[in-house]
Structures are given as C-alpha cells and as structure tokens.
Structure 1
Amino acid sequence: MKPLKEFVIPFIGLKIGTHLFEYKVGQAFFEYFEYDDFNDVNVDICVNLVKKVALLELQFKMSGIVNVNCDLTNEPFNQVIEDEFNLVVKFGEAYDDENTDILILPHGAYELNIQQYVYELIVLSVPIKRVHPGVEDGTLNSDILEKLEELSPKLEDKKETIEDIDPRWNTLKKLLTGK
C-alpha cells in the first residue's frame, strides 16, 4: 500500500522544538484503507510534534463526526468522536512498531508516516455499540423499531402467572421466604 503523501512528516529538516501539523480527514481517507463502516467522515486531527535531540514526541488530538448506521434500526446518524494519543519515536538498529506507544525507526530515517496511527485513532474512538440518539430518548420513528415492539414478548398480569405455577413450587417458595 503506497503511503498517502499528506500524512508523511519529513522531520529531518525541522528545528529542535515544537511543530504543529493539522489534517482534515474525510471519507476518501477511509476509501484508501477500504474501510466501509462509515457513511461520511469529517474529522480534524491536530498533531503536536516535539523534536528533541534523540527522539520525537507526537501528541495526536482528534475531534469530529462520523456518520454511521445504528445497530438497532440501521438508520444513519452523526456520532461525535474525540480522542487523544501520544507516540514516542526513538531511533535504533531496525524498524520496530511492536509497542503501541513507542515507534523505533532505523538510524538514517528522515520521515515519519502517521497515516496508520490516524486511521486507528479514528476507528477505535467510535463506540462498539452504535445506537441512534433518537432510540435512546424515544423520538425516532422507524419501521424497524415498531416491528421490534410488536414482536417483543408481552408481560402478562402477575396473578395469572402465579396461578399457573405448579402448587409444588409454591410449597418450595415458602421455604425460601419463610412464609
């Protein structure tokens, strides 16, 4: 997979100190990764890179909305997401990304590709269970919700269920409750 040019940071020419990089991520970014769980994406990413003599510190801050389908009704809605992530980049003999917080680049590296970190930050900040806000507050009118309500088991009057119970169980219940 060829890296996206806009997410490659050439840190070799940067002075020691703090540098700010801002990105706007849209649906085309996720089409590149062939990820189709989102209907639409509008996310702002702010990367604060602190260059030191022997390492780089990156702080990712992300906020925006992703349009996803509700797990219950399949109705699309805008899910607000917000998250942060810190990454330390060190230099060593070979490339190593085994640790999630530390990236080791080989000596002589001159650029850093952050597209995978941006992708994972956005995907992992979306809740696992996606429920439309209208379902939670009862304002969403949907054919699927009506059908679920129609097919849900109805609770009957408690007196009828107590009378239908085998009398032997009632005797055992007296032992538990002491009545």
Structure 2
Amino acid sequence: MKFWKTFDIEVIKFKEGQHEIDFEIDDKFFQNFEDNEILNKGKLTVRVIMEKGANVIELTFLIKGEVELTCDRSLEVFDHPLDITEKMIYKYGSEEREIDENVCMITRDTPSINVAQLIYEFILLALPAKKIHPDYRNDLDDDEDFATEGGFIYFDQEEDENEEKENQEDENISKPVDPRWEQLLKLKNKEQS
C-alpha cells in the first residue's frame, strides 16, 4: 500500500499553473505489478509536468532511463534505453471515468491521481516488439522473405504473385501440352478476343 501512495499526485493541493513532480523508478517498482513477465529490472527517472487549469489538468510524462530485457534470439540479458514522452488529460466532470486512453474524467473533489499504473503502461508500450541484444541487431534475419518494420511482418504480395506466374510458365514449358487442352485454350482465347 505504501508503494502505491508514493505515486499519488495530490492535485487538490496544487494551485492553477504549471508544476513539476519527479519520481524514481527502480527494480522494486516492477515487482509491484503481478502480470509483469517482461520487466523485472530498470532504473528510470520520471518527470511529470502538470498544467492545472480551471477545468482540466494536463499531465506530461517524461520518462528516461534503462530497463533490463532478455534477447528473444540469444536469451542474453541487456539494458535497453528508453526516452518516452506521453500525455494524459483529466477533465472535471460529475463522475470518475475513463473517456478514452488519454482522457479521464475526475470530480472537483478528487484528492489525488495515482500515476504508477500509467507509468508502467507507458514503459511497456515503449518496449520493442522484438527484443534483440545490441550485438545481434546488425545480423541479417534468416528469413529474407519477410520485411519487418516496427515489429510487424509484411508480405510482398505482388512479389509472391510474380513468382507464382513464373513457376506456372516454367511448368508449361517443361511439360508437353495435351493437344486437346491446347485446342480448348485456343477456343477460350478466341472468345475473350
């Protein structure tokens, strides 16, 4: 319980204007999240710039540091640098609820906003889809048929279709054509003309 309290921003105590709140993230931070299988260690600093207005509170998160990851290819542990900037907006309303992923509604008498879960999610979202040790990043992938961008695999459909046509043409050349099929193809081509 004490852990969660350290990440409370007591918004009710702040006057309108800009304020900065700093947090330190270490290994203990990641141990407080049950579903955490990816991250166990890291050392980051979080600066939250809070812009408090009459009807809205805007939080800008500046997260810098390193987290320890395990390489997907070699299973070696390595430090991955992070430099994250994210925003969260809190609007005053009649009830507390999430409007969308970056906007929440809070009441005017909400005493504090806990940012631990937000920080954790921002860090998780900034991790690469493929965790590759820096020593292996320049190695070519074994599978050259796939082009990856941002962790997604894209197939070049046009290239696949061209290869398929070439293969069919090669098959047609190497196999003797049955004269009956040849006549049918000629009829078909005449109808299309």
1:29 paired residue number: 29
Contact 2:31/2:40 (8 A) holds in 1? no
Q: 1:117 is matched by which residue type in structure 2?
A: L
For residues 64 and 94 of structure 1, do their structure 2 counterparts lie closer, same or farther at Cα, with a shift above 3 Å needed?
A: same
Q: Classify the secondary structure of the residue corresponding to 2:72.
A: coil
| TM-score calculated relative to the size of structure 2 | 0.69
Task: Kindly indicate whether residue 62 of structure 2 is the aligned counterpart of residue 61 of structure 1.
Answer: yes
Deviations 1:99-157 (A, max 9, x none): 1111101232121111111110111111111011111246xxxxxxxxx9xxxxxxxxx
Paired position in structure 2 for 1:84: 85
1:15 to 2:15 alignment: yes
Task: Kindly indicate whether the alpha-carbon contact (under 8 Å) linking 1:3 and 1:113 is maintained by their aligned counterparts in 2.
Answer: no
Match of 2:171 in 1: 169
TM-score using structure 1 length? 0.74
What does residue 117 of structure 2 align with?
A: 116
2:43: which partner in 1?
42
1:68–1:77 contact (8 Å) kept in structure 2: yes
Give 1:3 shift: 6.6
- What is the CA-CA distance between 1:38 and the residue it aligns to? 2.2
Give the aligned residue type for 1:18. Q
The answer on whether the counterparts of 1:94 and 1:105 sit within 8 Å (CA) in structure 2 is yes
Partners of 1:38 and 1:28 lie apart in 2 by 11
**C-alpha distance in 1 between matches for 2:133 and 2:104:** 37
Q: Is the 8 A contact 1:30 1:36 kept in 2?
A: no
- Structure 2 spans left out of the alignment, 5+ residues: 143-169, 176-193
The runs of at least 4 aligned residues of structure 1 exceeding 2 Å deviation read 168-173
Q: CA deviation at 1:36?
A: 3.2
User: How far apart in 1 are the matches of 2:86 and 2:19?
Assistant: 16
Q: CA RMSD in A?
A: 2.2
CA distance, structure 2, for counterparts of residue 49 and residue 24 of structure 1: 17
Whichever of the two has the greater Rg, that structure is 2
Quickly say closer, same or farther: Cα 1:117–1:171, change in 2 above 3 A: same
Contact 1:57 1:86 in 2 (8 A): yes
Q: Quick one: distance in 2 between partners of 1:86 and 1:132?
A: 30
Q: How does 1:97-136 map to 2 (within 5 A)?
A: 97-136=98-137
| Contact kept? 1:89, 1:105, Cα under 8 Å | yes
1:93 and 2:94 are equivalent in the alignment: yes
